[in-house]
Structure 1
Amino acid sequence: MNDTGQFQAFDNKQRLVDNVVKQVIRLIAESKLEAGSRLPPEMKLAEQIGVSRTVVREAMQILIAKGLVETHHGIGTIVRAVGGEQISDHLALMVQVNELSLDNLHNVRSILEIEIAGIAASQATPEEIKHLSQLVDQLERDSVDPTRYVEADGQFHRFLAQTAHNPLLEILLDSFAGIMKEVRLSVSQDPAVGLSGMPDHRRIMERVKAGDVAGARQAMQDHLKRAREIQRQTIGREDSEGANAPKRSRRRA
């Protein structure tokens, strides 16, 4: 990394820590600090910006909490690759504190995945369709094991997004991955849940294979609607059973 000209000094009257954070975020956004880049040592960075080491240290803690940088002993502070994982962690926290409901997430997920299914039907390659078919076969084999079924389910939806060849769609879908995995694990303890979803996945794959854009969208819409109803019933039942257990963390369905 070039140590000159990247960081700017600023008036001490400003909120020093926030400004250091904003500078680093701006440099990351402008690709002047790329994933894997090493920031200058704490003392050198403080000198470049014109603040104390304490200010830099506090700014780094904020950036670490945001998932933008990470520290490695003997190496220093490294810029992280930013993807859906950081968004997923934040969404999960918002659901836990009741700032978002699962219905909020489901509505946005539906908008994304219905369109993804249509795009896949319009442009998926023979190789991609073959792999999608293999993922459906894997789902059927794993239907008796909730943990493996949930993993296979996530792989199916993520690979479908990859066929759109739009990295932003993948990042957005990944942002739901963590919280949706928890929900799927919760409801998939009933073996019938896995069995009920298998025809949906195969139907989506068949519509994609046929190049049926409208059919693929409809198949995905039907699948997500059915999945949400199962989730609502299961989580609602858990909430009812746990109503007298104040220590239990519960989400709004």
Structure 2
Amino acid sequence: MPPAALLAEPSRVRQTIQHINDYIRDQGLKVGDSLPSEGVFALELGVSRAVMREAFGALAALRVIDVGNGRRARIAAIDGSVLANSLDHAVSTDQISIGDVWDVRRTIEARTAALAATHRTEAEADRIVELAVLMERDVADRPSMTGHDLAFHEAIALAAHNPLFLQIVRSFAPLMRIAVPAAWDTRLAQRDQTVIIERHHAIARAIKAGDPAAAEAAMNAHFDVSIGDVLKGLSPNTPIPAGAGNGL
């Protein structure tokens, strides 16, 4: 390929990506709807199949489309893993600290707790209560307790009935898998562990009771302790395991 064409290739890919995004909006496509094939787009835009493959690959990585062998690309559902990967990168390259993430997370989760208290179903409230109980039961089993803690916060976001909050909370999961055990390492006294478990029970009780003010206050009380413990127990330079953002 001539040098001039090589220089033009990235621009063609960007333009092709923009065209596909415009097509999705203009056609009013929804999650699960199929896109025309790479060949159809290539013919319409006058670009090579290589450009189309790169454009489709970029959109798949961003979870705009879902591609699979033997079938046409489809519109993908919203996916918090994209934001999770960005957060992982930002922390590992010292653009933001874990304390920054926890401060944002506190604001978001206080709101999800209030919304959950308002909008949760009985089944959702029971699941939140159950996860707090499981945390207490498995407090000595760090991996299990961490899993219950992650599920507890995700269940609250789900009960808020705002899909964007759910995806944002899910995007915190890779960092939580590191920070939660590190924070618990600072809670060596049985009394400290009891306090933090009780804070989870308080959040669950307020949501079950349908009291948004109490749920928000309980979540803030939880983070008053948790943020400090994270900052004490985890260095901002702690590496994020490779691929952590892919397990949401």
Change (3 A) 1:14 1:130: closer
Partner Cα distance (2:9, 2:174) in 1: 41
Change (3 A) 1:187 1:27: farther
Deviation (angstroms), 1:102: 1.4
Change (3 A) 1:29 1:201: farther
Deviation (angstroms), 1:188: 4.2
Equivalent residue, structure 1, for 2:91: 95
- The alignment status of 1:174 with 2:166, answered yes or no, reads no
Partner Cα distance (1:41, 1:47) in 2: 10
Change (3 A) 1:159 1:74: same
| Correspondence for 1:148 among 144, 151, 171 | 144
> Could you tell me whether the CA contact under 8 Å between 1:144 and 1:191 is conserved in 2?
no
Secondary structure of the corresponding residue to residue 15 of structure 2: helix
Using the size of structure 2 for normalisation, the TM-score is: 0.79
Amino acid at match of 2:137: R
Equivalent residue, structure 2, for 1:204: 203
| Correspondence for 1:124 among 120, 123, 130 | 120
- The alignment status of 1:20 with 2:19, answered yes or no, reads no
Higher RCO (Cα < 8 Å, 6 or more apart): 2
Deviation (angstroms), 1:219: 1.2
Amino acid at match of 2:229: I
Deviation (angstroms), 1:157: 0.9
- Structural mapping, 1:1-253, within 5 Å: 15-29=11-25, 32-188=28-184, 192=188, 195-236=194-235, 249=239
Amino acid at match of 2:118: S
> Could you tell me whether the CA contact under 8 Å between 1:158 and 1:170 is conserved in 2?
yes
Secondary structure of the corresponding residue to residue 234 of structure 2: helix
**Root-mean-square deviation over aligned CA pairs:** 3.0
Partner Cα distance (2:23, 2:172) in 1: 27
Using the size of structure 1 for normalisation, the TM-score is: 0.78
Secondary structure of the corresponding residue to residue 86 of structure 2: helix
Secondary structure of the corresponding residue to residue 71 of structure 1: strand
Indicate the percent of aligned positions where both proteins have the same amino acid.
Answer: 26
Change (3 A) 1:69 1:225: same
Secondary structure of the corresponding residue to residue 90 of structure 1: helix
> Could you tell me whether the CA contact under 8 Å between 1:85 and 1:178 is conserved in 2?
no
Change (3 A) 1:78 1:210: closer
User: Structure 1 stretches of 5 or more lacking a match?
Assistant: 1-11, 240-247
Partner Cα distance (2:171, 2:74) in 1: 22
User: Structure 2 stretches of 5 or more lacking a match?
Assistant: 1-7, 242-248
Secondary structure of the corresponding residue to residue 140 of structure 2: coil
Partner Cα distance (1:142, 1:29) in 2: 47
Of 94-103 and 208-217, more deviation after overlay is shown by 208-217
Deviation (angstroms), 1:24: 2.0
> Could you tell me whether the CA contact under 8 Å between 1:150 and 1:188 is conserved in 2?
no
Of 52-61 and 119-128, more deviation after overlay is shown by 119-128
Deviation (angstroms), 1:59: 1.5
> Could you tell me whether the CA contact under 8 Å between 1:121 and 1:216 is conserved in 2?
yes
Give CA-to-partner distance per residue, 1:162-208, whole Å, 9 cap, x none: 22222222122222222222322444467747655211101111222
Amino acid at match of 1:230: D
- The structure with the largest helix share of the pair is 2
Residues paired across the two proteins, number: 231
Equivalent residue, structure 1, for 2:4: none
Give CA-to-partner distance per residue, 1:213-233, whole Å, 9 cap, x none: 332222111111211111111
Deviation (angstroms), 1:99: 1.6
